[in-house]
Amino acid sequence: MSQKQQLIDQVIQAWHALQQQSPLVQCITNSVANNYVANVLLAAGASPAMIDNPFEAESFTQISSALNINVGTPTTEQTQAMLISAKTAQQHQVPWVLDPVGYGEILKWRSETVDQLLQFQPTIIRGNASEMSALAGNLTQSKGVDSTLNSQDVYAQAQSLLQHTECIAISGESDYIISKELGIVIQVNGGCHLQPKITATGCALGALTAAYGAVSSPTIAALASHIHFSIAGRLAYDQAQNVGSFNVMFLDYVHMLDENLIRQYHSIQCLESV
């Protein structure tokens, strides 16, 4: 059996596990994304909890199956909760995903928070190309929290981040998964150009990655979530070509994904060793 086929079989196993276990995912995410992220997790089969204050963070992280931290619109209390939850997740072996939204020299306060969060060894770091480039120490110009770089140009330099994490996921026109465990880069194709037109799709992708992280290895978690989104985006666009109707159809396909659709529509390539 080829490595690619083995990976797809493991993605399908992870999808089945997600449906069966409905893992509890603590989300510390941004104010723009809360509702959408929760709906995507519910549609995919997980159980979201948007617990983001420092007074409840430690106790809730301890009972969570996974943690997702997104620094999109940080407040003072929320950043305190992020640090508490990340430390707790590391101590209790709770898989967690870091989404360094807007990381760079312009937004210094949040970027310093991300630097602190890295000491707690996120299981997976997920972001767009500009964020991952900046996080890897390469100063780039970003357009607010939107990427101005191509993910294909960034995955080589982002490999330095493997000192902090087990897996790196860079989203873009094609997505790139960098696996410390397997020592490879996996390219995920598909999706739709309308996905970036919908608020919080990237944030929801990070949360779904955390959900898969509760039921599979870091590499398979990142791969499964990105395949899940790429197929849902592709099939949604077949049914709806305008942003509003596409948004509804995309959520439908996040929910309707199954083993047959994964086998039929996945598009991945194993590129190189890291």
Task: Give 49's contacts (C-beta < 8 A, 6+ positions apart).
Answer: 24, 25, 26, 27, 60, 64
Go through the chain and tell me how many residues it has.
274
Q: What is the DSSP letter of 65?
A: S
* Helix boundaries (H) for the chain: 3-21, 34-44, 57-63, 76-91, 108-117, 129-135, 151-158, 201-213, 218-239, 243-256, 259-265
50 among annotated binding-site residues: yes
Q: Which helix (H) or strand (E) holds 106?
A: none
What's the first-to-final CA gap in the chain, in angstroms? 22
126 among annotated binding-site residues: yes
Query: In degrees rounded to 5, what are phi and psi of residue 168?
Result: -120, 135
Q: What are the binding residues for substrate?
A: 50, 200
Q: Can you say which residues are annotated as belonging to the binding site?
A: 50, 126, 171, 200
* Binding residue ranges for ATP: 126, 171
